[in-house]
């Protein structure tokens, strides 16, 4: 039994089931906007062998399991980032783990900076496509595992996206993933816009790649917390968290729609 199977079996024993339908990953600021679940069970991430707990401010370190609309939902109240010193495999460990419990869909959320004046701070944007600009890929060959040649044409499930957009009126945009932790320079923000990005952040893209490699459907949601590259003045992490907190009701409504639409 490998480390992912051990982790999945351990989590299953703690939540009382070996079947998860939907996995929700909370990005910066989303912890206070997470949906209510029936029959809720909370498990500290450190209790799952092989799984490392997030330590970034604004991220939790627990799994919350329960039911919503007859779906068995697991929520990660935080995530790992490469800028914390973690490898791509460590960043996507939880995504790979839940697939071993039958999970078919994943909702990836994040706080993002905008590189497009049509997407000002304070807006929620559904991710319609992504650019992995981290310089890394979690599906590269490693000892005992061959490289995965994953088709990323519909990285974010178009039908799921249309259903949520129709119900909530949410905008759609392209997310660029960088490693961080420094924020973008003005030149980098201009470059990203020229490449076709609308928003930029430091997460999500590797989890999406891992999920698609495993055949999972993906829905992505960005909270635009600031204008990147000094387009509206300096930015810091406290500002990002405060901006997300001010929109938690809207964030919760879109997450509810995404769960119901899956």
Positive or negative CA dihedral for 61, 64, 68, 70?
Answer: positive
What one-character-per-residue DSSP string does 199-237 give? EEESSSHHHHHHHHHTT-EEEEEEEEEEEGGGBTB---H
CB under 8 A, 24+ apart: contacts of 115-118:
115/176, 115/184, 115/189, 115/190, 115/192, 115/193, 115/197, 115/198, 115/199, 115/200, 115/227, 115/228, 115/229, 115/231, 116/173, 116/193, 116/197, 116/198, 116/199, 117/227, 117/231, 118/198
Residue 202: φ, ψ to 5°: -120, 25
Residue 160 Cα distances to 172, 194, 206, 257, 261, angstroms: 12, 28, 20, 10, 7
**Residues catalogued as catalytic:** 28, 59, 81, 83-84, 111, 202-203, 226, 237
* 131 and 215 Cβ atoms separated by less than 8 Å: no
Q: What is the DSSP letter of 32?
A: G
For residues 210 and 88, give the distance between their C-alpha atoms in angstroms, rounded to a whole number: 10
For residues 30 and 248, give the distance between their C-alpha atoms in angstroms, rounded to a whole number: 7
């Amino acid at each position: 039994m490998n480390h992912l199977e051990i982790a999945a079996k351990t989590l299953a024993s703690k939540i009382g089931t070996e079947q998860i339908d939907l996995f929700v990953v909370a990005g910066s600021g989303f912890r206070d906007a997470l949906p209510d679940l029936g029959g809720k069970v909370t498990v500290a991430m450190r209790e799952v062998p092989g799984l490392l707990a997030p330590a970034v401010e604004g991220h939790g370190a627990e799994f919350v399991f329960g039911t919503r609309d007859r779906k068995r939902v697991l929520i990660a109240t935080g995530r790992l980032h490469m800028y914390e010193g973690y490898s791509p495999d460590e960043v996507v460990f939880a995504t790979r783990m839940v697939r071993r419990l039958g999970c078919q869909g994943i909702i990836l959320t994040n706080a993002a900076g905008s590189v497009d004046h049509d997407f000002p701070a304070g807006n929620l944007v559904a991710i319609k496509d992504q650019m992995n600009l981290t310089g890394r890929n979690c599906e590269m060959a490693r000892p005992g595992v061959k490289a995965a040649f994953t088709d990323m044409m519909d990285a974010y499930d178009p039908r799921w996206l249309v259903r949520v957009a129709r119900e909530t009126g949410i905008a759609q945009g392209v997310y660029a993933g960088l490693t961080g932790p420094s924020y973008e320079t003005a030149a980098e923000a201009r470059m990203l816009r020229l490449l076709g990005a609308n928003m930029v952040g430091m997460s999500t893209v590797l989890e999406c790649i891992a999920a698609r490699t495993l055949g999972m459907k993906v829905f992505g949601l960005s909270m635009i917390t600031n204008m990147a590259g000094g387009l509206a003045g300096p930015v810091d992490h406290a500002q990002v968290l405060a901006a997300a907190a001010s929109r938690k009701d809207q964030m919760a409504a879109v997450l509810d729609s995404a769960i119901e639409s899956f």
